[in-house]
């Protein structure tokens, strides 16, 4: 498609020097060197039939040169069909071959159109283009046409028109205008199917938008709505491109009307009306998709608000639960404090009861018959062992908590150092003020 635009640019009505510079700049991209694949449709001056020839010359241009010379001498109207392997490949002709066919032009343009290729079910349509160039000899009315990569419909239409024209032996300006319109109308014949297919594509995201329920969404629901919004945006881009193609076709009709004034005005008006109708349908789809996209994003926003609200409520519930757990922890702490206080109160009594109930203190009857407590001679061992175990317990606890104790000591020293430094600085400031 890019090569067609470059070809049209090289054939534009510009000064010869600029023409040559552009032509040379794009020649390596436009033409396939050493390859000639040209189909020729021609009407001879003294015959009432259409002659068709196909030239494939990969070595030299002798056969093509001979054909061009024969057409110049005998043909009244000649069509050269130049093909491409595919849309992005160069034309199957060399630069020298094209110069043999046509060295000037009267009217040239590129027609963009849509065509159903059917390769992918999701998007079976492509934007393609055909180049048209016409040169007419003043006085004789002999004309030479060049068609670049015409569609099958255009090729058959041109062939049918030339067969009818050969029978009538007519070649007027009205015939040339009619042939230009035949090409435009043939390429516009697929727009109705494209518009119908586009409406079907527009209905899918529209159904997703209008039938969505505002319940608590699942991840699949959000993904489906988001995919529909993306599809609507992709459709809008395709429709914008199609609208630009229709605008160029409408402008081509105006150009042909200006080139052939007061000829086939009704037919040109009908073609422009058809193009305008397709443009109006596509613009209507654009407005429809805009409303669908707005509704889809509103649904997504509402679902997002629902998810956010549910998250906030869950967080509030979690905070409430954490508050209840904290309150229960405080209640448990109060209970433990009470139990600790009770245990502390009864601990001396329990210790005394334990000692008096042991063999360390014995209740004996003396000589006078009275009862007295007697401490055993080795009671000191109990005191020694108790003190040793207490010290050992403190040492083990300090070993386990040594890191925390060291950090606390460092923090205390740093705090004490900061206080000392601050006091010294304040004293110095006071001394300076006194001085």
Comparing CA positions, the residue from 79, 73, 70 lying closest to residue 42 is 79
Q: Is 178 among the domain residues?
A: no
Backbone angles phi, psi at 94, to 5 degrees: -90, 170
Amino acid 309: pLDDT: 80
Amino acid 13: pLDDT: 44
> Are 34 and 165 found together in one domain?
yes
In a 3-state reduction of DSSP, which class is residue 40? strand
* Residue written as token pair 């009244």: 76
What pTM does this model have?
A: 0.66
Residue count of the chain, please give it.
435
> Are 196 and 279 found together in one domain?
yes
Tokens of 142: 């002999």
- Residue ending a domain, among 169, 203, 218, is 169
> Are 266 and 326 found together in one domain?
yes
Q: Is 180 among the domain residues?
A: no
- CA–CA gap between residue 150 and residue 250 (Å, rounded): 19
> Are 324 and 257 found together in one domain?
yes
> Are 133 and 231 found together in one domain?
no
Q: Is 131 among the domain residues?
A: yes
Burial class (CB in 10 A: 0-12, 13-18, 19+), 286: middle
In a 3-state reduction of DSSP, which class is residue 410? helix
Q: Are 126 and 112 in contact (CB under 8 A)?
A: no
Q: Is 412 among the domain residues?
A: no
Amino acid 424: pLDDT: 63
- CA–CA gap between residue 381 and residue 114 (Å, rounded): 110
- Neighbouring residues of 63: CB distance < 8 A, sequence distance ≥ 6: 36, 55, 57
Q: Are 93 and 40 in contact (CB under 8 A)?
A: no
pLDDT in tens, the chain (435 residues): 444 554 454 444 444 557 667 767 777 788 887 778 888 988 887 777 788 888 876 556 788 888 888 888 888 888 999 988 877 788 888 888 888 887 666 788 999 999 988 777 778 898 998 999 988 876 666 888 999 989 888 888 888 888 887 777 666 778 888 889 999 999 999 999 999 999 988 888 777 777 766 666 677 777 777 788 888 888 899 999 999 999 999 999 999 999 888 888 899 999 999 999 999 999 999 998 888 888 878 777 777 777 788 888 888 888 888 888 888 888 888 888 888 888 888 877 777 777 777 777 776 776 676 777 677 777 777 788 888 888 888 888 888 888 888 888 888 888 888 877 766 666 666 665 554
> Are 131 and 95 found together in one domain?
yes
Amino acid 3: pLDDT: 47
Enter the DSSP assignment of 1. -
- Residue ending a domain, among 134, 169, 204, is 169
Comparing CA positions, the residue from 75, 68, 80 lying closest to residue 50 is 75
Comparing CA positions, the residue from 98, 78, 104 lying closest to residue 32 is 98
Q: Is 413 among the domain residues?
A: no
Tally the domains of the chain.
3
- Domain hosting 107: range is 1-169
> Are 390 and 329 found together in one domain?
no
> Are 130 and 38 found together in one domain?
yes
> Are 270 and 210 found together in one domain?
yes
Amino acid 85: pLDDT: 82
> Are 203 and 301 found together in one domain?
yes
Comparing CA positions, the residue from 156, 157, 108, 110 lying closest to residue 129 is 110
> Are 162 and 31 found together in one domain?
yes
> Are 31 and 162 found together in one domain?
yes
Amino acid 307: pLDDT: 77
């Amino acid at each position: 498609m890019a090569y067609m635009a470059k070809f049209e640019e090289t054939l534009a009505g510009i000064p010869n020097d600029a023409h040559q510079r552009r032509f040379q700049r794009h020649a390596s991209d436009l033409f396939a060197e050493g390859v000639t694949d040209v189909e020729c449709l021609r009407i001879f001056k003294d015959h009432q039939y259409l002659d068709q020839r196909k030239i494939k010359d990969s070595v030299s241009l002798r056969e093509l040169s001979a054909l061009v010379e024969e057409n110049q001498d005998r043909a009244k109207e000649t069509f050269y069909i130049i093909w491409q392997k595919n849309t992005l490949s160069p034309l199957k002709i060399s630069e020298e071959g094209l110069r043999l066919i046509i060295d000037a032009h009267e009217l040239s343009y590129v027609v963009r159109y849509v065509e159903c290729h059917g390769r992918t079910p999701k998007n079976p349509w492509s934007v393609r283009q055909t180049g048209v160039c016409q040169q007419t000899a003043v006085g004789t009315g002999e004309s030479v046409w060049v068609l670049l990569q015409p569609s099958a419909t255009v090729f058959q239409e041109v062939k049918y028109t030339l067969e009818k024209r050969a029978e009538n032996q007519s070649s007027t300006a009205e015939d040339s205008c009619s042939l230009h319109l035949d090409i435009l109308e043939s390429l516009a014949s697929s727009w109705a199917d494209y518009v119908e297919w586009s409406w079907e594509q527009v209905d899918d995201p529209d159904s997703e938008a209008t039938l969505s329920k505002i319940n608590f969404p699942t991840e699949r629901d959000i993904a489906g709505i988001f995919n529909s919004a993306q599809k609507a945006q992709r459709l809008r881009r395709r429709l914008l491109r199609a609208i630009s193609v229709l605008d160029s076709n409408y402008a081509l009709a105006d150009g042909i009307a200006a080139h052939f004034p007061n000829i086939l005005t009704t037919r040109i008006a009908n073609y422009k009306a058809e193009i305008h109708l397709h443009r109006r349908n596509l613009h209507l789809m654009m407005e429809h998709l805009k409303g669908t996209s707005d509704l889809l994003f509103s649904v997504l926003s509402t679902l997002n608000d629902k998810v956010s609200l549910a998250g906030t409520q869950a967080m509030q519930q979690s905070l409430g639960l954490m508050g209840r757990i904290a309150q229960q922890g405080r209640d448990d702490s109060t209970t433990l404090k009470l139990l600790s206080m009770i245990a502390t109160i009864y601990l001396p009594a329990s210790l005394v009861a334990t000692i008096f109930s042991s063999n360390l203190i014995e209740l004996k009857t003396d000589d006078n018959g009275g009862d007295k407590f007697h401490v055993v001679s080795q009671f000191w061992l109990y005191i020694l062992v108790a003190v040793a175990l207490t010290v050992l317990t403190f040492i083990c606890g300090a070993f386990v908590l040594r890191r925390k104790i060291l950090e606390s000591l460092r923090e205390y020293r740093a705090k004490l150092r900061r206080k000392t430094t601050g006091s010294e600085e304040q004293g110095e400031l006071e001394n300076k003020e006194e001085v």
